Amino acid sequence: MKYSIFSLARAALSGHKNWQRTWRDATPKDRYDVVIIGGGGHGLATAWFLASEYGIKNVAVLEKGWIGSGNAGRNTTIIRSNYGLPGNTGFYELSMKLWERMEQDLNYNSMVSQRGVINLYHSDAQRDAYARRGNTMRINGIDSELLDLAAVKKMMPFLNFDNARFPVQGGLLQRRGGTARHDAVVWGYAHAASELGVDIIQNCEVTGFVRDANGKVTGVETSRGRIGAGKVGMAVAGSSSRVASMAGLRLPIESHVLQAFVSEAIKPLIPNVITFGAGHFYVSQSDKGGLVFGGDIDGYNSYAQRGNMPVMEDVCEGGMALMPMIGRVRLLRQWGGIMDMSMDGSPIIDKTPVDGLYLNAGWCYGGFKATPGSGFVFAHLLARDESHAEAARFRLDRFRSGAVIDEKGQGAQPNLH
Amino acid sequence: MRITCPFCGERELGEFTYLGDAKPVRPVAGASEGEVFDYVYLRDNIAGVMSENWYHGGGCRAWLKVTRNTLTHEISAVEPAAGVGAAKVGA
């Protein structure tokens, strides 16, 4: 199924009754060259890049529920590449460049909207830190602009500029940042991967690994039977420790719950993505009109996909401090997702000590923006057995060697990243 | 989630701060690099009942050992963590 103005016109003329399924809901074969565990954005992107860039088309994506039912469907849809540390800076820019061509690559409207991401600063010290980060980005060829107060007022006149304790002084703007439609990203990769022959297998939970006499992983046991595999890639952020434990691995990861919120729909108000630098609050407005926002993780280990009241209160306080006029807007929905909080706040894309098993994990609460980049470099690793240049620092052994990538400088305390 | 502090009674979650899994034990001085690496970085990340360290900063400021299910958030036991507080109540 190829989408175009003509397919749209044809479907319109027949009352939209003849749309074909956009991807195949496959039944498992006995064996694949590569089996990807996890039918989220990262897993499906990996499968698509394997098929399209690396010519490996005998690939299955196994999903225990339905595709996009985990964190791919639970995020706040923000995309950006405003990272400061070597390792992160280049990788997230690679991902941003892939966002910019995603719709053409996939022949699917993933609603990538480069509406700009602005991080507000509220003190001289924070301005200096953002100026430094902006300079790091520009040195690496990434767009960034340091805005003063007048420029911020012009762009977002609705912010509270009378906050005596945390006055808005300006912001660091990345105009190429923005949002994308999370479900359409999942379905876009599913659509394009399926077209190239990738099997997307739902309701198929991995229950164990099949190992040969040398310990090499040669397949997976699933709720739909045994499936053989040349290589197995894990892309199950949130549940990485649980799946890895089936192969006898312990990971430098804790699973934590992050909540997100959406308000009732209101008229167009917020033109971009705004982060409040004096607390932890980020907000954008969906195309339907709802304010989509979030803040900190709850801070305790959880696999429950739901959070608690103190963080809800904290997030709403952040929103009220930044834009008091949203106080009368009602909250429509609130939900939680399980984050792979790594020990330095950065992801892991690497081989594991188990032969044949590859790991894509530790995305903390920044996985959505990384979706295309993660898929690309993980496919590279699976196809070539060596790290992609832009992911060469996301090693599993960096915690042992000391080469950690700690953007926030918090140390090995996952709930503070 | 509400935590019943053995010193203060049942209090709301916002009064407490989480440290993490209570199982890792700080290696002795002179421990091998592998033992220190394991202590600092590796976690069981249990999906199920886990023993955890919490700090009651908004109340008695005691460290607590909380037994909690990470799948349901159900708390089955709260005890004083080993130390001065525990000694006071004879735990």
Asked if residue A190 lies in contact with residue A24, where contact means CB atoms within 8 angstroms, the answer is no
Q: What percent of chain A has a predicted confidence (pLDDT) above 90?
A: 98
> With contacts defined as CB-CB under 8 Å, which chain A residues touch B40?
343, 399, 412
pLDDT, tens digit (0-9, with 9 covering 90-100), for A114-161: 999 999 999 999 999 999 999 999 999 999 999 999 999 999 999 999
Distance of CA A367 to the CA centre of its chain: 2
> With contacts defined as CB-CB under 8 Å, which chain B residues touch A301?
18, 20-21, 45-46, 50, 52, 70
H or E, element range at A219 = strand A217-222
d(C-alpha B53, C-alpha B79), whole Å: 10
Q: Other CB atoms closer than 10 Å to residue A384's CB: what's the count? A: 10
Place of tokens 């590449």: A81
d(C-alpha A262, C-alpha A292), whole Å: 4
- Do A117-177+254-342 and A25-108+181-252+344-416 fall under one CATH topology? no
Question: What is the count of structural domains for chain B?
Answer: 1
d(C-alpha A129, C-alpha A399), whole Å: 26
pLDDT, tens digit (0-9, with 9 covering 90-100), for B8-62: 999 999 999 999 999 999 999 999 999 999 999 999 999 999 999 999 999 999 9
Which residues lie closer than 8 Å to A121 by C-beta, 6 or more apart? A127, A129, A130, A168, A169, A170, A171, A172, A277
Which residues of B lie closer than 8 Å to A, measured between beta carbons?
Answer: 1, 12-14, 17-18, 20-21, 33, 37, 40-47, 50, 52, 68, 70-73
Most B-contacting residue of A254, A298, A300 (CB-CB within 10 A), to test interface: A300
Domain residues for the domain of B28 are: 2-88
In this structure, whether the domain defined by A117-177+254-342 belongs to CATH 3.30.1330.10 is answered with: no
Look at residues A96, A43, A417 and name the one whose alpha carbon lies nearest to residue A258: A417
Q: Both tokens of residue A414?
A: 């996952």
Q: Which amino acid makes up residue A142?
A: I
Which residues on neighbouring strands pair with residue A340, listed in sequence order? A255
Asked if residue A396 lies in contact with residue A350, where contact means CB atoms within 8 angstroms, the answer is yes
Class of domain A25-108+181-252+344-416 as given by CATH: alpha beta
pLDDT, tens digit (0-9, with 9 covering 90-100), for A14-33: 999 989 899 999 999 999 99
Q: Other CB atoms closer than 10 Å to residue B81's CB: what's the count? A: 19
Q: Do B42 and A252 touch (CB under 8 A)?
A: yes
Judge whether A310 is closer than 8 Å to chain B, CB to CB.
yes
Distances (CA, A) of A303 to A262, A331, A339, B19: 22, 24, 9, 17
Is the ipTM higher than 0.85? The answer is yes
d(C-alpha A254, C-alpha A240), whole Å: 9
Instruction: Check whether A1 has a pLDDT greater than 80.
Output: no
The residue extents of the domains of chain A are: 25-108+181-252+344-416, 117-177+254-342
Asked if residue A36 lies in contact with residue A202, where contact means CB atoms within 8 angstroms, the answer is no
Q: What is the DSSP string of A247-290?
A: TT--BSEEEEEEEEEEEEE-SS---SEEEETTTTEEEEE-TTSE
* Minimal C-alpha gap between B73 and chain A (Å): 7
Distance of CA B85 to the CA centre of its chain: 14
CATH of the domain at B17: 3.30.2270.10
d(C-alpha B49, C-alpha A301), whole Å: 11
A331-342 and A348-351 beta bridge pairing = unpaired
